[in-house]
Amino acid sequence: MDEEVKVSLVGDDGHKRRWGLEKLLYRKEGRKLSINAKVTAWMFSLFILIGSAYSIMSEFFKPTPTENSKPIGFSEQMGSNLSESDKIKIASGNSEFNKPQSFGRKVKTVVYFSAPQVIGRPNLGKIPPGTMVKAKFITGASNGPLKAILAEALAINGEDIAPEGTILVGSGSSGEDRLSVQFTKLVYKDGKSQSIQAQGCDLSDQTVGVKGKKLSKYAVLLATGAGLNFLGGVAEGLQESQVQNGVATKKSDLKNAALNGASKAALDQSQEVLSDLKSKKSVIQVDSGKEFYVLFEGE
């Protein structure tokens, strides 16, 4: 039995065979096709997500400018042959380029070195109060001007303010048993000087005032006064006495008269010497080469 194949043409304007649009992007409402808003929104979100992921991954694996760089050798001869336009200009410390730069998640610190600069240190020459340094006299010290020399370098915070051998100039004044020393000038080896305020302290107890010896003439005066006083007492004791009517009296003869006069003269001379010694101040003398401490009072 023969079957007749019937072919009929149906017009659909190509919508049913165009990239599956009818099933995916379009929905049919009767004979009318409308866009499927839900599917379209999901596809748009997926496109944005894929684009963002690609952008992040490309930045993460992007090599930094300094990662594959090698240091460039530089010498003074190479620098001398370069012109002004070819020389490398280094940014200063306050430049906005002298900051860490980041690329993605990796942070690379770029360090810029500034050019040589002149650094002012106005407080370098000032000596803090209370600083002590060892010195020694280069002249005999007594009342009046004197000179000393630093036996060690004066260093403040690792900086030498005055090297060993710097000269100290001042004056001395005698006390009871110490020589009071005041220094006013610090003279460097190159001839320059600096005003200071410092005192000398004894090396044994670090007390202000340097111990010394009193001049010999005052010791002689003291011994003379004591000797005359002793002789006056001896002369008075050698006088002979007699008892008259139960009372002891000195004999009135030539011997007693001489001893009485010698005793009185010796005692009077002794009192005069001791009085003169008390009215005069003692003089302390310190030998050259004696070491002591210098205590700075500050400017």
Q: What is the pLDDT of residue 110?
A: 80
Residue 61's contacts (CB-CB under 8 Å, 6 or more residues apart) are: none
Residue 293 bridge partners (DSSP): 134, 201
* Class of residue 278 by CB neighbours under 10 A (exposed 0-12, middle 13-18, buried 19+): exposed
How many Å separate Cα 236 from the centre of its chain? 73
Q: And the tokens for 37? A: 């808003």
Q: How far apart are CA 13 and CA 74, in angstroms?
A: 76
Q: What is the pLDDT of residue 291?
A: 94
Torsion region of 62: left, alpha or beta (phi above 0 gives left; psi -120 to 50 gives alpha): beta
Q: What is the pLDDT of residue 55?
A: 80
pLDDT tens for the chain, 299 residues long, are 455 666 666 555 555 555 455 566 666 666 666 667 777 788 888 888 888 888 887 776 666 555 555 555 555 455 455 555 555 554 444 555 455 555 555 667 888 777 887 765 555 557 888 899 999 999 888 888 899 999 999 888 878 888 899 999 999 988 888 999 999 999 988 888 888 999 999 998 989 999 988 775 555 555 565 555 555 555 555 555 655 555 555 555 555 555 555 555 556 666 665 666 666 667 888 988 999 999 998 66
Residue 88's contacts (CB-CB under 8 Å, 6 or more residues apart) are: none
φ, ψ at 41 (rounded to 5°) = -65, -40
Q: How far apart are CA 247 and CA 254, in angstroms?
A: 21
DSSP single-letter state for residue 26 = E
Q: And the tokens for 181? A: 């020393």
Q: Report the chain's C-alpha Rg in angstroms.
A: 55
CA distances from 173 to 49, 134, 145 (A): 95, 20, 9
Residue 146's contacts (CB-CB under 8 Å, 6 or more residues apart) are: 137, 139, 140, 169, 170, 171, 172, 181
pTM above 0.75, yes or no: no
CA distances from 248 to 10, 239, 251 (A): 183, 12, 9
Q: How far apart are CA 180 and CA 178, in angstroms?
A: 6
User: With the CA atoms of 80, 84, 89 and 95 taken in that order, what torsion angle do they form, in degrees rounded to the nearest 10?
Assistant: 150
Q: What is the pLDDT of residue 45?
A: 84
Matching residue, tokens 């430049």: 95
Handedness of CA 254, 260, 261, 262 (dihedral sign): positive
Q: What is the pLDDT of residue 183?
A: 94
Strands 144-150 and 101-103: unpaired
> What is the b/e burial string over 91-112, where b = at least 16 CB atoms within 10 angstroms of the residue's CB?
eeeeeeeeeeeeeeeeeeeeee
Q: What is the pLDDT of residue 201?
A: 95
Q: How far apart are CA 238 and CA 114, in angstroms?
A: 100
